[in-house]
Amino acid sequence: MINNSKKLDLLIITMFALLLTLVIIRSKYEDVNNELIQNFRYLSDSIYRYQINTMNSISIESDKYHDMIVLNTPGEPGGVKEVKDVEKELHYLKSTLENNLVVSDSLWTVANVFPKYMFVTPFRAEYVEHVNDNINNDGLGYFNYLLNSDGVESELNFDTTIYETISVFGPYQEITKENIFTITFPLYIDRQVKSIIIIDVKSDFISVFLDRYNFKNFSFFKLSENKSEIGRFVFNTLAMQNINSGYKSIIDISSLYIILVFTFFFILFLCVSYIISNVNSYVRNNSIDQLTGMYKRDKYKLSENSRRVNCMAIVDIDFFKKINDSFGHAKGDDVITEVCARITKVIGPSDVAIRWGGEEFVIIYNNVLDVIEFTSNLEELLFSVNREYIVELPVTVSIGGVFSKEKLAFTEAFIHADKALYDSKNSGRNRKTIIKYGFDNYKD
């Protein structure tokens, strides 16, 4: 059966493990959401920088581009003579997005669509067929097709911010058979849409981000079960205008993660508690006398240089050899145990008791203020031993004490206390003698 002390230890360990689990998981949860927000913002910033470069780019001859799709509108003359020179910037944008922790390996396509042409990277043959089909079926041209299909306003309203012009569509199966989300960023000049940036990412891109985060941080977060909210979540995150904007996370904390973290800390604290308990037990067994509960003489480090005292007593059990010879060593051990128990009850919690020899004990008083208090304490100690028989035997002790105005080296104080003990024994035993060192009256 587990005793009350062990039950309390287990309760404390459980509470600490639970508290630390909640703190760690909460901290990680905030961290993963902050990382998600920051990387979406980096994505928006990358697009914004690209759009500025697009506005300031020059026009060059179209035949210099190979990965370009011409968007011929039915009924209009075909061909494009000049295009914006954004090839370098477009590949840099793609490279930047590939280093973004949210899209990273999930990036599928980056495209910049102008009214009469579009650039795509990486270029796939399927896109040409897709564009031509929509041009022919719609009759208005692919650029207008995108405006209509993605809900992009051709003219920016005065009450609309550029963040709100972003659109997110998906997941859906693209012409290449890949399941993707499409994020569009229209570019407005003089409030008129001039081009559209299209970012296609694989539909599991947030799950991939979470897997990478979990692996790196030894965590276990997962995507919310309601995956239909991903598009709305991406839009709301991208459309954040300041840090106080509303944010509703779609990341869930797995119950298994909570259990694993709690179990880890519980076992860790349990092991630490076990180690500390065993270390304390080892130290106690090696420094504490098992019979008396007092310090062992050879383990309690005392030296003239390391300890100085002004109040010390030596206690010796009277006629102890006669007790051992007459009643046996077992009886003698019982006498020593009880005498020490009575001594321990009388001295203060900060005082130090040492088993100095077989039946001799040293007490160092740390908080005695004056000789009167010291005298009273030694008288109480005498009475505590001789007031009642010990294992049916009349047991007494003799005490020698020293009280000094100034602190003495331990060895010097011991010499004076030992002299006082010698005087107590020679004057009849069962009494105390105090040497007042540094006072006019040398002995009490």
58 burial level (CB within 10 Å; 0-12, 13-18, 19+): exposed
Please, which pLDDT band fits residue 246 given cuts at 50, 70 and 90? low
pLDDT digits (tens, 9 = 90+) for 297-327: 876 655 545 678 889 999 999 999 999 888 8
The confidence score (pLDDT) of residue 78 equals 60
Indicate the range of 194-198, 254-258, 275-279, 427-431 predicted with least confidence.
275-279
Cβ neighbours of residue 418 closer than 8 Å, sequence gap 6 or more: 314, 400
* Cβ atoms of 110 and 97 closer than 8 Å: yes
CB contact burial 338-349 (16+ within 10 A = b; e otherwise): bbbebbbebbee
How are strands ordered across the β-sheet holding 352-355?
A: 295-296, 352-355, 360-364, 308-317, 397-409, 432-437
Predicted confidence (pLDDT) per residue in 122-159, tens digit: 888 888 877 777 665 555 677 877 787 767 777 777 66
Rounded to the nearest 10 degrees, how much is the dihedral formed by the CA atoms of 390, 365, 421, 354?
60
Half-sphere exposure of 88 (CA within 13 A, CB side): 4
Q: Which tokens in the block code for residue 369? A: 């203020």
Q: What pLDDT, in 10s, does the model give residues 390-416? A: 888 999 999 999 998 888 888 889 999
Helix-strand-coil percent breakdown of the chain, rounded to 5? 50, 25, 30
> What integer best gives the mean pLDDT of the chain?
84
From CA 279, how far away is CA 284, in angstroms rounded? 8
Q: How far is CA 47 from the centre of its chain?
A: 36
Q: What is the CATH number of domain 295-437?
A: 3.30.70.270
Between 229 and 35, name the one with better pLDDT: 35
* Number of neighbours of residue 387 by Cβ within 10 angstroms: 8
SS3 9: helix
Sort 428 into a burial class: Cβ within 10 Å, 0-12 / 13-18 / 19+: exposed
Greater confidence, 339 or 243?
Answer: 339
Within 8 A by CB and 6+ apart from 10, the residues are: 2
- Alpha-carbon distance of 381 to 397, in angstroms, equals 9
| pLDDT value at residue 127 | 83
* Per-residue model confidence (pLDDT) at position 1: 43
Q: What is the pLDDT of residues 259-299, one digit of tens each?
A: 999 999 999 999 988 888 887 777 666 778 888 888 888 76
Domain boundaries, given as residue ranges, for the chain:
4-259, 295-437
Radius of gyration of the chain (CA): 44
With a cut of 50, say whether residue 341 has pLDDT above it: yes
In the predicted structure, residue 53 carries a pLDDT above the cut 90: no
Please report, for residues 304, 351, 355, 364, the alpha-carbon distance to residue 298 in angstroms, rounded to integers and kept in the order given: 15, 18, 10, 16
Closest CA to 88 of 106, 64, 109, 72: 64
CA 369 from chain centre, in angstroms, equals: 47
Question: How sure is the predictor about 214, in pLDDT bands with cuts at 50, 70 and 90?
Answer: very high
Question: Which pLDDT band holds residue 52 (cuts at 50, 70, 90)?
Answer: confident
> Residues 424-440: what's their mean pLDDT?
88
29-33, 228-232, 240-244, 250-254 — most confident range? 29-33
Residue identified by tokens 């500025």 is: 52
Q: What integer pLDDT is reported at residue 419 of this predicted model?
A: 94
Position 245 scores a pLDDT of 62
* Amino acid (1-letter code) at residue 222: K
Rounded Cα distance between 246 and 173, Å, is 30
DSSP state of 386: H
pLDDT tens, position by position, 61-92: 877 776 778 776 555 556 677 888 888 888 89
> What would the two tokens of residue 279 be?
């270390």
- pLDDT digits 0-9 by tens, 194-211: 888 999 999 999 999 999
- Residue-wise pLDDT for 5-45, tens only, equals 678 888 889 999 999 999 999 999 999 999 998 898 888 88
pLDDT at 187: 87
